[in-house]
A and B are shown apart, each in its own frame.
Chain A
Amino acid sequence: MSDSGPRRQQQVAALRHGTVVDHLSPGMALKALELIGVPQEGAALIGVNLYSEKMNRKDILKLENLELTDDQIERLAVLGPNASVCFIREYEVVRKVRVTLPDRIAGVLRCPNPNCITNHDRLETRFDVEKKSPTTVRCHYCERLIAESEFTLL
């Protein structure tokens, strides 16, 4: 949580309890929220294109009163190879998890190729990760290379 801006000002309000997903690739915060779902018992704060020393620009997502499951964290990896997840209790970080991109992504993403078999027959999508930063994946079925900017969630 250190690189919060050139003047170290708070760019997105602090959380008392909940989860902070930091260092998402720019433009991915909305997709991250879509992937996790709108929290039932609290606010979701989104920061898009914030200044970051490490990444130049980043997105951030703060979820009030919500602790992400391991499964949700794993799915988030496709939205930012540098992403980290912090669990917050009483304004303190109690646990920090670096998200790691697996070599293979099952489900989560939709293949953007309209003529791909996965968009017609009921098949779970599968992608092989070809490059980690910026994330580039290849559809296991139609073999199309897909850039991060083309990612759409299932």
Chain B
Amino acid sequence: MSEPWTQIELDLAEQMRGSDIISVRQFESQELRTLLSIVARFEGDSQPLLHGRVLAALFFEPSTRTRLSFESAMARLGGSVIGFADAGISSASKGETLQDTIRIVESYCDLFVIRHPREGAARAAAEATFRPLINGGDGSNQHPTQTLLDLYTIQRRIGRVAGLRIGFLGDLKYGRAAHSLVEATAMLGNELILISPDSLRLPHRRVGELRERGTPYEETPNLAGAIPELDVLYVTRIQRERFVDPLDYERVKNAYQVDRATVDQGREGMIVMHPLPRVNEIHPDVDSSPRAAYFEQAKNGLTVRKALLALLMGAIE
């Protein structure tokens, strides 16, 4: 926190004051890099920058970890939190529209974070209020604070978020965290190795976007062949429900389990990430490896959220 803010950081902070965080698509790559350098200023203890401010955390579907992270971030900045933890206890269960709920709660708070099972809900909510709003996950669409904490983790560990070879492993068809990080890392200029069983490959239209952008990428089912080339291995959860045949699930699950022997094939400095919760994609024997970055991700999530709350409230000094 000691270094003075650069002009480019101050400009971005000014631009973000009072705005919304809906999607990583809203940022240019230079803005993302600047945002990550601002986040680093929020490491460690914080001043009570948001004393007296109220965050409304409206969770129309449960997500305990995201909610706790936002609550902790707000508390550490001296603010307080109101809200609900799932739609059953909100008036959404009585048929109230999302936009009506937002208009009512807006008089009780200074900013919002919303989590909703439908795609586009955060954008719709943001349009109903002048207060800043953060998307805490809208269906299978976006979860920008997850993407930012993933990028911040890469930045902290490797020192840059461009010019890397990043492997995405597992369910690339449905995994929202992977989709969003694929988009962001492609925009920042990285090479992507997409490792998945044939049935869980990245959707066509997303692959098409990579091609149009000119992002170097490779699709392969072979983890062992890909791993020695990687700087980052981003592992995602493979869910049993995605498979029609339970035997297919068993095969894939075993083929893609990442253990100490697997990660030791990686080059020096390669890190292993996971959006968590993990089930058995990563063997616990990786936890003690210096490559394991997944528990840091949760800690970095807190730092990212503190920074965003302060930026949107214009409370940076």
* Residues of A near any B CB (own CB < 8 A): 111, 113, 115-118, 120-123, 139-145
Contacts and interface: CB of A to CB of B under 8 A. Distances in A.
A143 B142 contact: yes
A116 B97 contact: no
B118 A120 contact: yes
Contacts of B141: 142-143
Interface in B94-145: 97-99, 116-121, 123-124, 138-142
Contacts of B251: none
A115 B124 contact: no
A42 B52 CA distance: 68
Nearest to B139: A115
B240 to A, nearest CB: 21
B69 interface: no
What are the 5 A-B residue pairs with the smallest beta carbon separation, nearest first? A141-B120, A142-B119, A142-B120, A117-B120, A117-B118
Contacts of A139: 120
SS class, residues of chain A in contact with chain B? loop
Given A117-B98, A121-B97, A142-B138, 5 more contacts: A113-B119, A117-B124, A142-B120, A143-B119, A143-B141
Interface residues of B, number: 20
A140 B209 CA distance: 17
Interface of B: 23, 25, 97-99, 116-121, 123-124, 138-142, 205, 209
A116 B141 CA distance: 9
B205 A141 contact: no
Contacts of B140: 115
Given A118-B120, A120-B118, A121-B124, A143 B139 contact: no
> Most A CB atoms within 10 A — which of B23, B123, B139?
B123
Contacts of B99: 121, 123
A122 B128 CA distance: 13
A117 B142 contact: no
A117 B119 contact: yes
Contacts of A144: 119
A145 B139 CA distance: 16
B98 A121 contact: yes
